[in-house]
Amino acid sequence: MQIDFSGKFFAVTGTSGIGLEAALYLARSGARVFLAGIDSARNAEASAMAKAESLSVTVSKVDVSNTSSVTAWAEEIAGQTDSLHGLVNAAAIQTYGTVATTTPEEWDHTIAVNLRSCYLTSHLLYPLLRAAKGAAIVHVSSVQGHANQNAVLAYATTKGAIYALTRAMAVDCAADKIRVNSVSPGSVRTPLLEFSARELAKDGKSMEDMIAEFGKSHPLGRVGTTDETSAMIAYLCSAAAGFVTGADMKIDGGLTAQLGV
């Protein structure tokens, strides 16, 4: 589906994986994108990728869990546009542990990066989003919010909470003509998935072996691509989804549709 975002402004968090590819997808569709990430090396890579394609992507170093950092980013964006047509919250970290093994520090950090950031960016960029008179917000959640593996307590909690945040925002923001949805990817080939594959690999298995196993667990027999998640995000940000709000879109190759018996 061809989507034209010419003349539109978007803010995206996460300079790798789904966030990066969503930003590039939107920019390839004509949008001007403000992209936020905390990792300097990945920020530089994202800038280089955008520059290589002559895309309008401005990359800023931002700690999305920190109020002062996001405030500065919001002020930077406000200095260049008086309205935002979309916000994509894709920044996240993967953490492992049970209620017995997750430390308070790990819990707080995961909540701050994965969940608080969605509130914080939405809150601080709200005046620009309202000014667009038809903006869209997309929070990137996960199938781990619907059903989860062992020992992903904090991560799964944040992803499940994003659904509630999405619903509440969709109801509240409708009066300002802002639509709010979430997407829930299954296994998608990203640096985060590769990190998980390395963490879970054992008995002589490699990261690639684990990724292949992840794929086999999906009815479609493979892991997803960032192009596929980006296409859904772009759709939700477009006029074609003008009557879609408060929804969660699963991009999981049928993973959550099947029974595990």
Query: Among 7-16, 34-43, 146-155, 191-200, which is the least confidently predicted range?
Result: 191-200
Average pLDDT over residues 92-109: 97
Triad 193, 196, 197: Cα angle to 5°: 85
Q: What is the pTM of this model?
A: 0.95
Determine whether 25 is an active site residue: no
Q: Give the pLDDT confidence score for residue 1 in this predicted structure.
A: 64
Average pLDDT over residues 171-176: 98
Q: Give the pLDDT confidence score for residue 186 in this predicted structure.
A: 93
Catalytic residue among 96, 119, 126, 155: 155
Nearest to 181 by CA among 191, 168, 192: 168
Q: Give the pLDDT confidence score for residue 200 in this predicted structure.
A: 85
DSSP 15-74: SSHHHHHHHHHHHHTT-EEEEEES-HHHHHHHHHHHHHTT--EEEEE--TT-HHHHHHHH
Domains of the chain: 9-186+224-252 (3.40.50.720)
